[in-house]
A and B are shown apart, each in its own frame.
Chain A
Amino acid sequence: MVTENFLNLPQTTTAEAAVEPARDATPESVIDVRELQAYYGENRALKDISLSLYSRRVSAIIGPSGCGKSTLVRCLNRMHEMSSGGHVKGEVLYQGENIYGAGVDPVELRSRIGMVFQKPNPFPKSIFENVAFGLKVNGISGNTSERVERSLRRAALWDEVKDRLKQSALQLSGGQQQRLCIARALAVEPEVILMDEPCSALDPMATLAVEELIRELSQEVTIIIVTHNMQQAARVSHHTAFLMMDQDKAGYLVEYGPTSEVFTNPKSEHTEAYITGRFS
């Protein structure tokens, strides 16, 4: 059933086409990146990135390895500065406010902009504690178990783990671990979720489950997903950004627009070459 669909899915089908008519045609932007430069020490990893990411939409970031996709999403919740030598120039406006401005607390910001990493990285604790951790550190008290259950349900994991919430999260399969990480991020009810190649460690079935989840979540939250999988970008995203590296190895934005346009009618020949696989 689902697998068949996965294989037969025409490449041009996009989530944009499937969006229910009730949704407003011109989405409002929640994150505005303005001339962002990101550095690792002296090395510039991102150059002059400007783009707007839309509320309650899925935006995909694609591009060849090393072009700075991870760096870009990590700039959006100020995780980039955790890397040694990581610093930025330029602005990232979140709901109109520059997150790099004075007086912005990155800790508070990160509880509003959640993140799911490429490799599942559950805490070496029980399933329950994994999901409850975000609640604890953010001082969200009261009906913790209810919230844990709701998050696990939203991440489509509840039925598989409801009888073993006390077991170590490390005993879960890779796909379950990744869904647990998604549940963990959902528990603090972020407005935006950044996903850095969330399916790269998953099999096709688990990938499909996560994609389904992304589609459902996009009704309520803004999702930004990095992916190496063109079909995935086409399947789940409304907008797609294509990044590339220039001669001095800094990533820049080649093209950004509605996914259907980027995939069927790319403006740049580089984009076309990349999505048709003539370029890696």
Chain B
Amino acid sequence: MIPAIARDRPIPMSRTVRKARGTAFILLAILATSLGMVALAALLLDVLRDGIGVLSLEFINSFPHYQAEKAGAKSALAGTLWVMSLTAVFAMVAGVGAAIYLEEFAVRNWFTRIVEININNLAGVPSVVYGLLGLAIFVYWMGLGRSVLAGALTLALLILPIIVVAAREGLRSVPPTIREAAMALGSTRWQAVRFQVLPAAMPTILTGFILALARAVGETAPLIAIGAFTTVLFVPTTPTDSFTVLPVQIYSWISKPLPEFRENAAAGIIVLLVVLMLMNAVAITLRNIYSRRSRW
């Protein structure tokens, strides 16, 4: 006989119903994933179909031209590489530096709390606003002009909040016992951070860094706002040279009335994607090196 208490309980769902629900959820998840995959694949196929015919070493090695078949992405590719390298350095140094200060050294008070709130808010500011800020500060006030340096600083500013947030997350995930262990051996706070905490946090930091760079490499609006040129007939050789970048070049080709330029734009997108993937590959390799060494 079933005891009274057991009878008062709600009747449990039958096993088949629970299994069916589980299966339904998995199907839904697969559907959601494939939606994204299909959209991405369609986009890639479309771009590849349009651009693959134009894509060649010559395309990468030619400057912009008024005839579509002679035009190339050399200056834009060089500009992107220049700007991204500098952006990566500025954003990483400033972002990780700020995160280390806030997490490891700053005393919690109203000032650090205001800084924190503002950093989180900055992540939501539209990118064109950063362009205007860059125009006012770097181009005019600091007198850098429409240079690679001004562009890189503007983009670094744009991705700084993402890196700060990711880096703080990474630092916070390192157990405090690691800091105590290091300090108890007679290391300074900085030595503990430099040799133990930072390497352990590096995988998380680099993940944030990858996402941030992926965002920066595709940005057009802030660079147009600071006045990146659309037709550059030379390769920048110093950070003070003027420049263009791939997204700006692609944008300018798309807005041309001649249909042949569409194919150039598609080829430019492929080049941009390759640059993005190479950057990610480097960051992921670094991340794997770090996480192989430090896993809890």
Rounded to whole Å, the gap between the CB of A249 and the closest CB of chain B is: 24
Contacts known (A133-B195, A137-B188); A121 close to B296, Cβ less than 8 A: no
Q: Which residue of A lies closest to B191 (CB)?
A: A137
Interchain CB contact (< 8 A) of A125 among B177, B191, B294? B294
Within B178-193, the residues touching A (CB, 8 Å) are 178-188, 191
User: Complex: how many Å from CA A230 to CA B180?
Assistant: 27
Total number of A residues with any Cβ neighbor in B under 8 Å:
30
Interchain CB contact (< 8 A) of A184 among B177, B183, B185? B185
Q: Which of A124, A168, A181, A188 has the most CB of B within 10 A?
A: A124
Interchain CB contact (< 8 A) of B177 among A77, A111, A119, A136? A119
A124→B294 contact, CB < 8 A: yes
Report B-chain residues with C-beta under 8 Å of the C-beta of A9: none
Q: What are 28 A-B contacts defined by CB distance under 8 Å?
A: A77-B184, A79-B184, A82-B180, A107-B186, A108-B186, A110-B186, A112-B186, A117-B177, A117-B181, A117-B184, A121-B175, A123-B182, A124-B200, A124-B295, A133-B196, A134-B186, A134-B187, A136-B195, A137-B185, A137-B186, A137-B188, A170-B295, A181-B181, A184-B185, A185-B184, A185-B185, A188-B185, A188-B186
B195→A79 contact, CB < 8 A: no
Contacts known (A133-B195, A136-B195, A137-B195); A124 close to B186, Cβ less than 8 A: no
Q: A114 in the interface, Cβ–Cβ < 8 Å?
A: yes
Report A-chain residues with C-beta under 8 Å of the C-beta of B181: 117, 121-123, 181, 184
B195→A110 contact, CB < 8 A: no
Q: B293 in the interface, Cβ–Cβ < 8 Å?
A: yes
User: Complex: how many Å from CA A137 to CA B188?
Assistant: 8
B295→A133 contact, CB < 8 A: no
A79→B180 contact, CB < 8 A: yes
Q: A226 in the interface, Cβ–Cβ < 8 Å?
A: no
Rounded to whole Å, the gap between the CB of B196 and the closest CB of chain A is: 6
A133→B182 contact, CB < 8 A: yes
Within B156-174, the residues touching A (CB, 8 Å) are none
Report B-chain residues with C-beta under 8 Å of the C-beta of A82: 179-180, 183
Rounded to whole Å, the gap between the CB of B283 and the closest CB of chain A is: 20
For the complex of A and B, 5 pairs with smallest distance between CB atoms: A111-B186, A124-B294, A137-B187, A134-B185, A115-B184
Report B-chain residues with C-beta under 8 Å of the C-beta of A126: 293
Within A73-107, the residues touching B (CB, 8 Å) are 77, 79, 82, 107
User: Complex: how many Å from CA A218 to CA B183?
Assistant: 24
